[in-house]
Amino acid sequence: MGLFSFLTQEIAIDLGTANTIIIHNDKIVVDEPSIVAVDANTGKLIAIGEKARQMHGKTHQNIRTIRPLRDGVIADFNAAELMIRGMIKMINPKPKLFTPALKIVICIPSGSTEVEIRAVRDSSEHAGAREVYMIHEPMAAALGIGIDVEAPEGNMIVDIGGGTTEIAVIALGGIVCNKSLRIAGDDFTDDIQEYMRHQHNIKIGERTAEEIKIKVGAALPDIEDPPIDFIVRGPHQMTSLPMEIPVSYQEIAHCLDKSISKIEAAILSAMEQTPPELYKDIYNKGIWLTGGGALLRGLDKRLEAKHSIPVHVAEDPLHAVARGTGISLKNVDKFSFLLR
């Protein structure tokens, strides 16, 4: 730490489609849903994070809730800037005599195009960052799990986030082959909404579908320690009369089957591209699952059965990418080859 280190504030941001996590001084200081509420007429910020999420789907015409990221990419530039700025303010809400210069490491999907990377960089700079570094999500996840990314051996990371599923084989501090699939947690939520509409004739919102996914979401119709059925309340599609329906984890496993099959196919395709020496390492060590999707009950067992390779869920998979981003921030010089 230099003499003037207090003049610079260093933060690591995991800018996710579903949640944004900020790490400062090795601690998670912000962990909020990636959503903002703005005044529909003036565009002024009303709420951010959890407060905005509580408004989602319940607003009137003067308030709009916006999720600035879609499929891991900034879809609404203005809202993204408001969100990043607002979340950085959450770290130290007290006004200071001077504003320290910001140094940010931010993670991006491995399939990002130059335009998408530019959007993240611009949003961060507009939010007040002096230095902006980027790290690819699978690399950050590997660092967060505690894998030695510089070792001459292969590791496979499958990071199932809100907007994208990142599949990457990492060796010697680089990504050997990767697949970025735009099927992830948000698509599971959409599948559940669609299923409830078709199967039970009941209309549910995004928040309820998300709750169903968390309470009774599963990847297999037969798991140990099954969750109890979740009671869904909502209007019947035809009559608009209230309905109450118990939903079991077997039903959700059935309705998510299609999306999970696409993830399985992408893992297989990444394995086809893997050089044989690295394939052998992965076969011996197994595949690592991170991201919120890794919490889906029975997903590791399903992938294990499909690919005949052991599958491990990282501990605290939700924060693995953020922790890895924090590690790269602390050792910017050591990991300069990972950052762009």
Compute the mean pLDDT over every residue in the chain, rounded to the nearest whole number: 92
Contact 105, 339 (CB under 8 A): yes
Say whether pLDDT at 1 is over 50.
no
The reply to whether the predicted model has a pTM over 0.85 is yes
For residues 15 and 69, the answer to whether their CB atoms sit within 8 Å is yes
**Across 296-308, average pLDDT:** 95
Instruction: Give per-residue pLDDT as tens, 95-105.
Output: 666 778 889 99
pLDDT value of residue 95: 67
**8 Å CB contact between 24 and 11:** yes
Annotate 69-83 with b (16+ C-beta within 10 A) or e (fewer): bebbbbbbeebbbbb
Q: Give CA–CA dist 192/340, Å, rounded.
A: 38
**Tokens found for residue 39:** 């005044």
Residue in the block written with tokens 């919120």? 292
What pLDDT is recorded for position 229? 96
Q: Are 263 and 181 in contact (CB under 8 A)?
A: yes
Among 30, 26, 1, CA closest to 14: 30
Identify the bridge partners of residue 234 per DSSP, sorted by sequence position.
Answer: 243
Q: Average pLDDT in the 285-293 region?
A: 96
Q: How far apart are CA 289 and CA 285, in angstroms?
A: 13
CA distances from 174 to 135, 164, 177 (A): 11, 20, 9
- State which amino acid sits at residue 310: P
Identify the pLDDT of residue 92: 77
